[in-house]
Structure 1
Amino acid sequence: MTSLREPVEAMSVGHPMYSQTYPCEPSTAEIGRELVRGVLGVWHLDGLADRAALIVTELIATASRHTPCPEIRLTVGRPSATRLRVGVVDREPARLPTLSQAADDDESGRGLLLVDAVADRWGYDLHGSGRRPWGKEAWAKLRTGGGE
């Protein structure tokens, strides 16, 4: 596992992206927040750190609560100069993330509502062939500034 004490290299050309595999468990959220904050610091996007950290926390919580996968892959990318994309990949394509309403006295079930509230867009992509996908990525996008 990569430590955040190791330098994170930002790419100067193309569309930079960082990804790392972690155990699929709730405690991974803390590591995920550190990773996101570190990468955003390298990319000089510290102003998005709180929102991105909340998003990654909720996506990791959703994966760890609703999939039996032993591992997840956290991704942080810049698909364009004005977009940040944070995602969590798991190997459970049959359990898709859905927005649901939690009752007032429910102690959980609001994660994707939070993601929906702070992200500019969110969704999921299936990975693998159309008939037999091997996994999915739940993702959220944030504007980094500028046009688009």
Structure 2
Amino acid sequence: MTVMAKPRPTGQPGYSETLPRAAESAAVARRLVRTALAAWGLEDQIDDAVVVITELVSNAVDHGRLTSIRVVVSRPTEDWVRLAVVDRSMAVPLMRTDTNDDRIRGRGLLLVDRLTERWGTDRYRWGKQVWADLRCESAR
């Protein structure tokens, strides 16, 4: 008798990893995103997703308080992929709109805003989660 595995709901398993609050963690976060999206058959989303996670990790590295951050890649529904970074800072990220400035840094959230359908911050007593949602290509 063959036993068939019961299908798991979309997003199971999720992908997350605790990483050092260091610039080098962006590379690990990109690998995690690639792995998750490939497992879900969403390879066409990888290019935008790795840019987004790089920017979210960069902000957490620059503005976080403790020595670690948590990267989360989930698929809450069939139509969405959520990329998130959790840190212990209470500072809420703000999107810069002064694009006439010569500064190279500080425009990452503009990229996040352009590459995703929506993004935001969930605040907690101990810190925050900054997240960005990509609509799955099949749902567009």
Q: Does residue 65 of the first structure (1) align with residue 62 of the second (2)?
A: yes
Q: Distance in 2 between matches of 1:98 and 1:42?
A: 32
- Alignment partner, residue 76 of structure 2: 79
TM-score (norm: length of structure 1) = 0.83
* Alignment deviations for residues 74-97 of structure 1 (CA, whole Å, 9 cap, x no partner): 00000101100000000112x101
Q: Does residue 116 of the first structure (1) align with residue 107 of the second (2)?
A: no
- Matched to 1:100, the amino acid is R
Give how far 1:68 is off: 2.4
Q: Does residue 47 of the first structure (1) align with residue 39 of the second (2)?
A: no
TM-score (norm: length of structure 2) = 0.87
Give how far 1:69 is off: 2.1
- Alignment partner, residue 3 of structure 2: none
- Alignment partner, residue 126 of structure 2: 134
- Alignment partner, residue 93 of structure 2: 97
After TM superposition, the structure 1 = structure 2 runs for residues 29-40 of structure 1, keeping only pairs within 5 Å, are 29-40=26-37
Alpha-carbon RMSD: 1.7
Q: Distance in 2 between matches of 1:126 and 1:45?
A: 29
Q: Distance in 2 between matches of 1:12 and 1:108?
A: 44
- Alignment partner, residue 143 of structure 1: 135
- Matched to 2:126, the amino acid is W
For these two proteins, the number of residue pairs brought into alignment is 132
* Alignment deviations for residues 5-40 of structure 1 (CA, whole Å, 9 cap, x no partner): xxxxxx941232111100011111111111100111
Q: Distance in 2 between matches of 1:99 and 1:12?
A: 40
Q: Distance in 2 between matches of 1:108 and 1:140?
A: 20
* Bigger Rg, structure 1 or 2: 2
Q: Once the two structures are aligned, what percentage of the paired residues are identical? A: 39
Q: Distance in 1 between matches of 2:87 and 2:27?
A: 18
